[in-house]
Amino acid sequence: MIAGRKASGGRYKKVKKRKLTGRQGQARIVKIGDTKTKLLSGRGNTTKLVSFLNNIANVMIKGKAKESKITNVLETPSNTFLARQNILVKGAIIETELGKAKITNRPSQEGNIQAILVE
């Protein structure tokens, strides 16, 4: 057998070198509170507005958006413990002044919260 090759003759892939761009970023947790955002710089002269605290959601009602205050996180399908800690994530059911709403965006990646009213 030839060194560096399989019995079939195929090559083994080399392990890639660790790079600075490959490391994982710190997890951002968005909770209910007075709005607190931060502007992060990314690669290629791009910026991202991330949220840490937020208590206002843009709730869609019959195709029209209305701002509403978030009072509580009722349930989170991805993780039940997140609902107990009032952490806002995509898919979470929140209680607003207009009623129950489901978060449709990722608040940790964007500086706002988008939601759809749930009947």
pLDDT of 119 > 80? The answer is no
CA-CA distance, 42 to 110, in Å (whole number)? 14
Kindly report, residue by residue over 4-13, the tens digit of the pLDDT.
899 999 999 9
pLDDT of the residue at 73:
96
Q: Are 89 and 70 in contact (CB under 8 A)?
A: no
Give me 110's structure tokens.
């964007």
At residue 4, the pLDDT reads 83
Domain boundaries in the chain? 28-117
In CATH, the number for domain 28-117 is 3.10.290.70
Which tens digits make up the pLDDT trace of 69-111?
Answer: 999 999 999 999 999 999 999 999 999 999 999 999 999 999 9
In this prediction the pTM is 0.79
Which residues touch 59 (CB under 8 Å, ≥6 apart)? 65, 66, 67, 68, 96, 98, 101, 115, 116, 117
How much is the average pLDDT of 40-64? 92
pLDDT number for residue 37: 92
Q: What is the distance between the alpha carbons of residues 48 and 41, in angstroms, rounded to a whole number?
A: 6
